[in-house]
Amino acid sequence: MKLVKPKKFLGQHFLKDLQVAQDIADTVDACPDLPILEVGPGMGVLTQFLIPKGRQLKVVELDFESVAYLRENFAQLGDNIIEKDFLRMDLAELFDGKPFVLTGNYPYNISSQIFFKMLDYKDLIPCCTGMIQKEVAERIAAAPGNKTYGILSILIQAWYKVEYLFTVHEHVFNPPPKVKSAVIRMTRNETTDLGCNEKLFKQIVKTTFNQRRKTLRNSISTILDKSHPLSADAIFNKRPEQLSVEDFIDLTNRVEQALAEARANTNQ
């Protein structure tokens, strides 16, 4: 295969180290046989290493210059080059409702939004790999007690096993960005049901981490009043980064029960 050496468009950083691109592409091998959706292919640096894998491949790109470049240099993809905004797409329509691997050198400014969308389609995406800003990768992979542990860590780790695979340094890009990058892989775990009210779970996670310096008793007070007897429990002396996914699930169930009891007492 003749490798494509992409040209640089104004304002873009492109990956010039083809071995790194090959290594990123190979992260999808952990989930064989599934079709692949690449987000933000740009000039096709990663695409050229995904094509030889012999799997159905679709790429979604919003930038019109990049789309034109892809159509000229990857004509074999044909209609599988999709000129759309990934965040607005119905992913269930892509492969006739069949599961697929999500990958890409993700646009750093929307990577978190991409992963929140992945969670919305978690039953269709058993595996997600790719390159993101190192700081975001560390956040996603962080364990409880770590200062980078937060909303993304909890919401993704509830459904996916996260692997921080390797760091990508600035010098492999042209021009070099001001931040380091990292490659991660997220593989669906065996969880099919959290065992709690998922909407309340998300609300509690986001509410407490948005005030992460406060104890749970104070940060959760907009959901559960501090005067409620449950808030006297020792867990409310903790801060959110001290709680595991399982702790948040347990907390959600206890808060939901407390709220239901409070409503029942009000209606009496």
- Residue bearing tokens 């090959």: 22
**Which of these, 136, 224, 148, 228, lies nearest to 179 by C-alpha position?**
136
Report how far residue 237's alpha carbon sits from residue 251's, in angstroms, rounded to the nearest whole number: 13
- Residue bearing tokens 């239901």: 260
At residue 3, the pLDDT reads 54
At residue 86, the pLDDT reads 97
- Residue bearing tokens 């996916």: 160
Report how far residue 175's alpha carbon sits from residue 206's, in angstroms, rounded to the nearest whole number: 36
At residue 12, the pLDDT reads 57
Q: What share of residues in the chain are helix, strand, coil (percent, to 5)?
A: 45, 15, 40
Question: What sign has the CA pseudo-torsion 65, 70, 72, 73?
Answer: positive
pLDDT digit of tens for each residue in the chain (268 aa)? 455 555 544 345 678 899 999 999 999 999 999 999 999 999 999 999 999 999 999 999 999 999 999 999 999 999 999 999 999 999 999 999 999 999 999 998 999 999 999 999 999 999 999 999 999 999 999 999 999 999 999 999 999 999 999 999 999 988 888 889 999 999 999 999 999 999 999 999 999 999 999 999 999 999 999 989 999 999 999 999 999 999 999 999 999 999 998 888 877 6
Q: How many residues does the chain have?
A: 268
**Which of these, 147, 126, 129, lies nearest to 138 by C-alpha position?**
147
At residue 5, the pLDDT reads 52
